[in-house]
Structure 1
Amino acid sequence: MSELKTLLRESKAYLWAALLIFGTGVVLGYVFDEVFEKAITPFIEELENIARELADNPNPVNMMWVIFKNNVLAAITMIVVGVFLVFVPIFSLLMNGLAVGYVLVHSALGDEVSPLRMFIFGILPHGLLELPAIFVAGGMGMFLGFRLLGWLFGPGQLLSHLFGNTRSDVGTFWREQTVPVLKQRVRGLARLTLILILVLFVAAVIESFITPLLIHLFVLGV
């Protein structure tokens, strides 16, 4: 577990940045929903496609599987793609935040449903697990992406000689500076990924079996 603790400690600033980016998206999507409506249309359409998929087989087990599958895919994509394209998790966190804000402000059915009640009972129960998992995945993608750029272009790193800096020969650089860190990162990331999958599974169970009940009881008053 020491590799995981080290990974989380080193990436802490990026995890907080992920939370800030997502939170900024939520506020912007809520306050300026009409401005960003066109930008988040693809995300809303994706949500509608998921809703249609669930409508075809509306039992809670199927709902749990669809939600779990999509969340795990999104989390792993932000981590893996973020390593090579660091802007991807940044963009994904912002757009998902915009979508959440937009959905909240448009969740009111006339004056019958308040966005606050929808957030408390419709998002918060499973979101307490799901959202931190997404923040961690997005933050980790940013962390690994910027670390790769540092490994390539930082002082004394792989390509630093192209910019007038010096480093050890490639063999020594790889054996002494790269392989030990790479092994530590891979072990920590493997443990983190397993934890994220478990957390997203529990969140999907809550969203499929508990959240609908809470919405009926406390939001719709059914």
Structure 2
Amino acid sequence: MDIDAFITAHRPTWDRLDHLVKQRGRLTGAEVDELVELYQRVSTHLSIVRSASTDAMLIGRLSALVARARSAVTGAHVPAWKEFIRFFTVSFPVVAYRARWWWLATTVAFVLASWIIGAWVAANPEVQQAIASPDEITQLVEHDFADYYSENPAASFAGRVWINNAWVAAVMLIGAIFMGLPIPYLLFQNAANVAVSGGLMASRGKLDIFFGLITPHGLLELTAVFLAAAVGMRLGWTVIDPGPRKRSDALAEQGRAVMSVALGLVVVLFISGLIEAFVTPSGLPTWARITIGAVALIAFLAYVYVFGRRAAQAQETGDQDLAPDLAPTA
């Protein structure tokens, strides 16, 4: 190949691409189309030069031009730390904030069901006998319930708790795949488990120990589970009422919202696990342990409210980072 003739024939194309790259923030629609076309053409030129020439300067010049054009066409990548900050200041809190009424309804329903079942168990000896024998109940009330939080080293217990809580939240989110229909049943199962333990403890006058042990970590832990259930059921409701959007677009957006919550709850449940492993079984007074749990819950709710409300007012949905790119059409 005559390299001089090749350069003479294609230099205007290279110069034009260089000009468009420098003007990329002020291009018209036609010029953007031209930029993409020239980028593809010059990429071919670079491939030809690399295979047919040893001119290092020409290869270097075209490589740099193609790299700058690629950046102009595809957009520069956002640094990972900025994506991390955006996720925890916009994407996660705004999804949680937008699901706040589902979240609140889930919380109220769970607490109400737990109280009703717990009171029923505590007030009916025949129900208690159907659950366990008197000796088994005594063992649970006097030893097993409290020993559960201190029978293993705190660090390993924290890991186990984190995995278990993450699994419970994941099951709630997986229920979203089935339009959220399994989620109320899963919530009821968890409410019944909590209520049965509380009812048995109350029947033996140990309700103060029950709340003293379950409240410090349970406040944040259950709130996280309620959030997972809320966004899962909200996704299911989107099938029925997608709003002004196409049903497929609404489902895709809510599906990505579920992913955001799943990632965010990893951190929330990790904190809850630390509280359960290091605070709940500690020698601190009950009021101090409950205060720590309450502070963690208030901090989380304040975080969601402040950052989520701000993002919602800015018309953020938390979806931009996960949404697919769409080409504009006329």
1:115 lines up with 2:207 in the alignment: yes
1:7: which partner in 2?
95
In 1, distance between residues paired with 2:130 and 2:228? 23
Distance of 1:27 and 1:91 partners within structure 2? 17
Structure 1 match to 2:231: 140
Q: Which residue of 2 aligns with 1:27?
A: 115
Residue 182 of structure 1 deviates from its aligned partner by: 4.6
- Aligned mates of 1:183, 1:87 — CA distance in 2: 18
Kindly tell me the number of residue pairs found equivalent between the two proteins: 182
Aligned to 2:174: 80
Whole-angstrom CA distance in 2 between matches of 1:137 and 1:185: 13
Which residues of 2 match residues 179-190 of structure 1 at below 5 A?
A: 180-190=249-259
Contact 2:113 2:188 in 1 (8 A): yes
Task: Compare relative contact order (CA 8 Å, sep 6+) and give the higher one, 1 or 2.
Answer: 1
Contact 2:107 2:226 survives alignment (8 Å): yes
Counterpart position of 2:313? none
Displacement after TM superposition at 1:6 (Å)? 5.2
Q: Structure 1 unaligned segments of length 5 or more: list them.
A: 42-47, 157-175
Instruction: Give the whole-Å Cα distance in 2 for the aligned partners of 1:5 and 1:36.
Output: 42
**Structure 1 Cα separation of the partners of residues 113 and 130 of structure 2:** 12
Moved over 2 A (4+): 1-13, 34-41, 107-111, 148-151, 176-191
Residues 11-45 of structure 1 deviation map (CA, whole Å, 9 limit, x = unaligned)? 3332122112211221122111158769989xxxx
Contact 1:82–1:144 (Cα < 8 Å) also in 2: yes
Say if 1:36 and 1:182 are closer, same or farther in 2 by CA, change over 3 A.
farther
Q: Is the 8 A contact 1:64 1:204 kept in 2?
A: yes
Question: After superposition, where does 1:1-222 map in structure 2 within 5 Å?
Answer: 4=92, 7-33=95-121, 58-107=152-201, 110-111=204-205, 114-119=206-211, 121-150=212-241, 177-178=246-247, 180-214=249-283, 218=286
Identify unmatched segments of 5+ residues in structure 2.
1-88, 133-139, 288-330
Shift of 1:142: 1.2
Cα pair 2:172 2:232 within 8 Å, conserved: yes
Residue 117 and residue 15 in structure 1: after superposition, are their counterparts in 2 closer, same or farther (change >3 A)?
A: same
One-letter amino acid of the structure 2 residue matched with residue 20 of structure 1: V
Q: 1:187 to 1:58 in 2, by over 3 A?
A: same
Instruction: Supply the RMSD in Å over aligned alpha carbons.
Output: 3.5
The answer to whether the 8 A contact 1:23-1:97 is kept is: yes
Partner of 2:152: helix, strand, or coil? coil
**Secondary structure class of the residue paired with 2:281:** helix
Aligned partners of 1:36, 1:94: CA distance in 2, in Å? 18
Q: SS of the counterpart of 1:86?
A: coil
Contact kept? 1:126, 1:211, Cα under 8 Å = yes
Q: Aligned-pair distance for 1:108? A: 5.5
Deviations 1:67-114 (Å, cap 9, x if unpaired)? 111111111111122331533211121221122122122235955xx3
CA distance in 2, matches of 1:88, 1:39: 27
Greater C-alpha Rg: 2
